[in-house]
Structure 1
């Protein structure tokens, strides 16, 4: 079997001052992909050649997403994206981490996102991260958007605002945090060797089951202690289909000499592996002041 070639990967979005949150997503097969399109009439013009991995990635993943939607018509965009991301893989045919074509070194979540999409596994992901309208409104509130700005997004099928949003009066025990957006990946900013952060997530079980228990496996990023509570999620037929958990990221006191360290959280029932990349950002003093 031929070894998987290195990835010609663009970087995913690194943490910004507004939302210190990298957003790993998925990536299809191929490197230095060339697409050919015939312009004008049938064969009357010369082919146009395009060499752009990002442009070609979009129709590849879109086609897989359409396949998932056909197989699971009740799934919305968030569930489909979650299924693609949490079932992706990051190793080549020799079992080694896929290399970045630009550096020749092992790729990271900022290179490859969640990894290579796997359509077959995405059809049966086990658990998915769903995102509701309320989640997105909370996210916008946490970023400081005004009620008027949020009303532009929060529209019903008729095109008119579906409800009036007042971020200052939202019924939360705690103000919404953008880091709690129910995304299938974790991006954490630790500003010092003693810093600590928590993030909340919830998982929805999909597919056929009678009783199943998922246990967490933590691949800890260097310099960080990671705690998941609860460490197991148990689902039974006719019981709740959604379970919440909290992740605590705590610097272990060692000064980091790199800007990023990486790890993952995997929920497994022995059949399904629901993988969530972790990217930890260690800003220097000047960057801390800007965040």
Structure 2
């Protein structure tokens, strides 16, 4: 049993209209203990790292290439996979031990996350007696996760997400590299981050704008890209997933919706 994307059916068949948050999947019984073992090794090397920092190190140093040095294929077909099928990619333990930067989380981040998904004060008291959700509901897009996922983004609209990176390596300047999802314009501000010591944090914001229009079908697609921060030695990669849509009155009736497009 594992978390499952609602962008596809459990069977992955076009005729299957079911959507579920969880599904039985082959391979998780081997993948989970392997990832847990690598996480334990990282904790031994970096005893002060939080679970979020360890997860970030595993994800941002992972590769989208298989052991044949070719793109990972979808396990149910011969097509190239996407973050929906392989997540951040294959773990590379040696690189994860020295990721350069991590997306860390504090207790307050988790509390804000619970508020963002709709937990009321009664439920929140189960976790903390002192914290109260802000009057303005937090934006779940700003949860400091190592990947970036944007819900339906209609033609011409934009969304901005915020992230914080923590330095866990040597001092340096990291420059942003963007592989833009098809039909999406991505900008990052600032586009370089300078770190002078371990534990130092820097904020940045990513703005995504849909450039698709009524003459560029398909109109309802998931597209993928990457944001990479590099100092020349480290590469901190975050997958970007965007669901782009067109206004309903612009969509030709004969189109099949829900197409997945990979870079």
Q: Does structure 1 retain, via aligned residues, the 8 Å contact 2:153–2:210?
A: no
Using the TM superposition, give the Cα deviation of residue 15 of structure 1 relative to its aligned residue in structure 2, in angstroms.
Answer: 6.4
- Asked if the contact 1:91/1:97 (under 8 Å) is kept, the reply is yes
Unaligned runs of 5+ in 2: 9-20, 249-263
Q: 1:37-75: per-residue Cα shift (whole Å, max 9, x none)?
A: xxxxxxxxxxxxxx9401111111100000000010001
Give 2:125's match in structure 1, choosing from 151, 160, 182: 151
- Select 1:264's aligned residue among 214, 226, 234: 226
Structure-1 residue corresponding to 2:5: 13
Correspondence for 2:185 among 217, 220, 225: 225
What is the SS of the residue equivalent to 2:109? Answer: helix
Larger gyration radius, structure 1 or structure 2: 1
1:276 is matched with 238
Cα root mean square deviation, aligned? 2.4
Contact 1:83–1:122 at 8 Å: present in 2 too? yes
Secondary structure of the 1:245 match is: strand
Q: Distance in 2 between matches of 1:284 and 1:254?
A: 7
More contact order relative to length (CA 8 Å, sep ≥ 6)? 1
Task: Pick closer, same or farther for the CA change 1:11–1:136 going to 2, 3 Å.
Answer: closer
Paired positions, count = 229
Contact 1:86–1:125 (CA<8 Å) still a contact in 2? yes
CA offset at residue 98 of structure 1?
1.1
Q: Describe the SS at the equivalent of 1:167.
A: coil
| Structure 1 alignment gaps of length 5 or more | 1-9, 17-22, 24-50, 155-162, 287-291
Q: Which residue of 1 aligns with 2:261?
A: none
TM-score (norm 2): 0.80
**Which residue does 1:179 correspond to in 2?**
141
CA distance in 1, matches of 2:197, 2:222: 41
Runs of 4+ in 1 over 6 A off after TM superposition: none
Whether contact under 8 Å (1:213, 1:233) holds in the other structure is yes
